[in-house]
Amino acid sequence: MSQSQLDVDPDLLAGGHLRADVEGAVLTVTLDRPQARNAQTPSTWRALAAIGDALDDSVRVVVLRAEGESFSAGLDRAMFGAGLPGEPGLMDLARMTGDDLDATIASFQRGFSWLCDDRVISVAVVQGHAVGAGFQLALACDLRIVAEDAQLAMRETSLGLVPDLTGTSPLVRAIGYSRALEVCVTGRWIGAEEAVRIGLASLRVERAHLGAAVDDLLGALTAADVGAVRETKALLRGAQDRTDLEQHAAERAAQGRRLAALAAAMQPG
């Protein structure tokens, strides 16, 4: 398959320490700041949001991976002080008024929220540490594959903060309220074996085999009919927010659309 770059400002990607490459129906987004364990800044989130804005309908799967020893060490520690040049620090955020702060955090969240778009299935490939914002970035994806050395933790409460980068809802969906509360409040480490056991990850493999495991999964994810996959994802994502009767009706409506699409495809000419 031919490989191409996503239509995103390369300076924006470079500033966020990201790469974005499209091969066939697969978009691979790579965190590329290994010297800082892929620590994140608002520039990372702006670049991620721009990738989401540029998402083409031909993309079926998004793979989110990272260079180096760690997936992401979370928020860049410089943000806890004055921040980096051109970036707000936590004290800058604390001085904002309510509406300004709300809009600013909402803009950060855009870098994460597009990964649950019903048009794609997103897969996080996690090695080493995924802490705080790194954990939430993995949680933003539909599926997670973890290396045997993966260690995940939500450390926000130890800093007097809360997880605010869209991670709370998928965490509760994955492991339930009680366990999610315990994980967030204690900030403890979750290893690869536990991540699979409690439903945070679908597969753990030796680090050397991560690439092969991702390739196998991509083959399976792209084999099914694209319309059926997108309708199924939308049904499953909305299931917890609907009553049984509402979910039954949603299933009927989705099946009606699929049958109509199949009938149209069978028409001659």
Quick: pLDDT tens for 80-99.
876 678 888 888 898 998 89
C-alpha span between 38 and 32 (Å, rounded) = 6
> In the prediction, which pLDDT does 148 show?
98
Nearest to 108 by CA among 148, 164, 176: 164
CATH of 3-221, one of 3.90.226.10, 1.20.1050.10, 3.90.550.10, 3.40.109.10: 3.90.226.10
Q: At what angle do helices 226-238 and 244-266 cross, to 10 degrees?
A: 170
Does residue 25 register a pLDDT over 90? Answer: yes
Burial class (CB in 10 A: 0-12, 13-18, 19+), 257: exposed
Nearest to 144 by CA among 97, 214, 78: 214
pLDDT mean over 175-191: 98
Does residue 7 register a pLDDT over 90? Answer: no
- Indicate whether this model's pTM tops 0.85: yes
Domain ranges of the chain: 3-221, 226-266
C-alpha span between 148 and 192 (Å, rounded) = 5
The length of the chain in residues reads 269
Does residue 168 register a pLDDT over 70? Answer: yes
Share of the chain above pLDDT 90, in %: 88
pLDDT band at 2 (very low <50, low <70, confident <90, very high): very low
131 close to 156: Cβ distance less than 8 angstroms: no
More confident residue, 6 or 61: 61
pLDDT mean over 118-128: 98
**Is beta strand 26-31 parallel, antiparallel or unpaired with respect to 18-23?**
antiparallel
Does residue 224 register a pLDDT over 50? Answer: yes
> In the prediction, which pLDDT does 84 show?
78
pLDDT mean over 43-62: 97
More confident residue, 83 or 159: 159
What is the average pLDDT score of the chain?
Answer: 95
Query: Which tokens in the block code for residue 212?
Result: 């092969």
